[in-house]
Amino acid sequence: MNRMTRWMKHWQTLPPRNRAGAALCLAALIACIIALAYQIGGLVADIPTPVRTPDPAAVHGRVWNKTQPLLEQADRQAAQALDKHLASIHAFLDERQAGSRAFAEQMLSLRGKWELVKAEIGDNSDYAAFLQEAFDQHVFPMEDLEKAVDTAVRSYLAELESIDDDLLVRLRADLADDELPRLVIPALRSDQALRSHYHELSQRVAHDLRTDLTVVVARELFLWQASNVATDLTLKAGAAIAARLGVSSTILAAGAASTWRTLGVGLVVAIVLDAVVNRIIKAAGYDAEEQIAGRVEETLIALGRTITDGDPEARATLEKLKTMQREDPDAEVRAECAESIRSIEAGTQLYGLRRELSTISAARASLRKETLRRLIHESE
């Protein structure tokens, strides 16, 4: 304090010109100090901040962990989609039940009875054609069922495709706030890059796995193959329904090996040859139409179940054949059982579309998981 006081007194004793010069010098000194500080600050700012080098293994592990709940969600979505699209087949058949009463009326009409009499006397081709026309008109033509099944299969497979695309979008969104994965995994730098790299890699993965996954990769081939599965399955489903209603093995063989039109004929013949329906036609009671309509509705419900979930009687028969193959003392019987077992297991009537499409979905899930694993862990 004393030193400051003495300095102020000394300042006051200086001549005015000296004080002005001293002030200018002080101001210049302060300006130099400020400029020097600014220059030093600039030099410090120009020193590059050390960049933290990402650990690729750690980044890969972090991204892979992010994919796990997404893969689980994709599996759930696929299962829900399967239920939804198979339900559309049941919905189609349920809607067509409304025509069963009109079909029954035509069966019991004067013309229907006359055609039945002619069929019992001699040629039954006219009666079969009459019934098929009535069924097509009042219930549904087989082409409509074919379209319903094919649409369900194609729609499900298209949704599997969209589930994969949606997973990729959600993966990118989950990593939006993390810059390191985009630096370490080039495929994550844009939605387009990820989608393109994923689909290209999935083809190589399917080839490497050496399984039926190659069908899953090529979408057009995949859909074509699945449509064939649907057609084959539906034909065999009709044959299985006919078997339960007493159609001969000759008709069954034709129905299983021929066209949708054959399935339609087999289905109508199955209804007519139903012992209950036969009794109703001959009795022609006051409620005959309602009873026949009820049997037609039951047949359509059974057909839907067989198409989507298989034939429980076929599964029961398979188990009996396996027991006979193991236990029958006659070698010839065991050999015949083995042949029948192979024939049944080669078909699709055991478990229906659900098993067929679930197998495809499981293959798709394996491909999805392995493709993402390689994309994340083996990226360059």
Tell me the per-residue pLDDT of 207-222, one tens digit each, with 9 for 90 and over: 776 554 444 444 444 4
State residue 276's pLDDT score.
55
Asked whether residue 197 falls in the same domain as residue 169, the answer is yes
Asked whether residue 213 falls in the same domain as residue 318, the answer is no
State residue 185's pLDDT score.
84
Asked whether residue 246 falls in the same domain as residue 343, the answer is no
- Domain for residue 47, yes or no? no
CA distances from 38 to 25, 45, 49, 148, 220 (A): 20, 11, 20, 79, 68
Asked whether residue 265 falls in the same domain as residue 318, the answer is no
State residue 248's pLDDT score.
43
- CA–CA distance, 332 with 2 (Å, rounded to integer): 129
Phi then psi dihedrals of residue 145, to 5 deg: -65, -40
- Domain for residue 18, yes or no? no
Asked whether residue 335 falls in the same domain as residue 270, the answer is no
CA distances from 218 to 3, 215, 229, 366 (A): 93, 6, 16, 16
- Domain for residue 99, yes or no? yes
State residue 218's pLDDT score.
45
Asked whether residue 174 falls in the same domain as residue 191, the answer is yes
- Domain for residue 21, yes or no? no
Question: What does R_g of the chain's alpha carbons equal in angstroms?
Answer: 40
State residue 263's pLDDT score.
60
State residue 75's pLDDT score.
95
Which parts of the chain sit beneath pLDDT 70? Answer: 1-32, 35-54, 120, 123-124, 209-286, 344, 346-349, 379-380
Asked whether residue 102 falls in the same domain as residue 235, the answer is yes
- CA–CA distance, 292 with 55 (Å, rounded to integer): 74
Tokens of 376: 């994340």
- Domain for residue 42, yes or no? no
Chain segment 87-132, per-residue pLDDT in tens: 999 999 999 999 998 988 888 788 877 777 777 677 667 777 888 8
Asked whether residue 332 falls in the same domain as residue 261, the answer is no
- Domain for residue 68, yes or no? yes
Q: By residue range, what is the domain housing residue 336?
A: 312-348
Asked whether residue 96 falls in the same domain as residue 204, the answer is yes
- Domain for residue 80, yes or no? yes
Asked whether residue 318 falls in the same domain as residue 295, the answer is no
Asked whether residue 135 falls in the same domain as residue 253, the answer is yes
Residue 140: how many other CB atoms lie within 10 Å: 19
Q: What is the dihedral of CA 352, 357, 363, 366, to 10 degrees?
A: -120
State residue 184's pLDDT score.
82
- CA–CA distance, 346 with 28 (Å, rounded to integer): 101
**Counted domains in the chain:** 2
State residue 210's pLDDT score.
57
State residue 94's pLDDT score.
94
Asked whether residue 221 falls in the same domain as residue 342, the answer is no
State residue 279's pLDDT score.
63
State residue 27's pLDDT score.
62
- Domain for residue 76, yes or no? yes
State residue 261's pLDDT score.
58
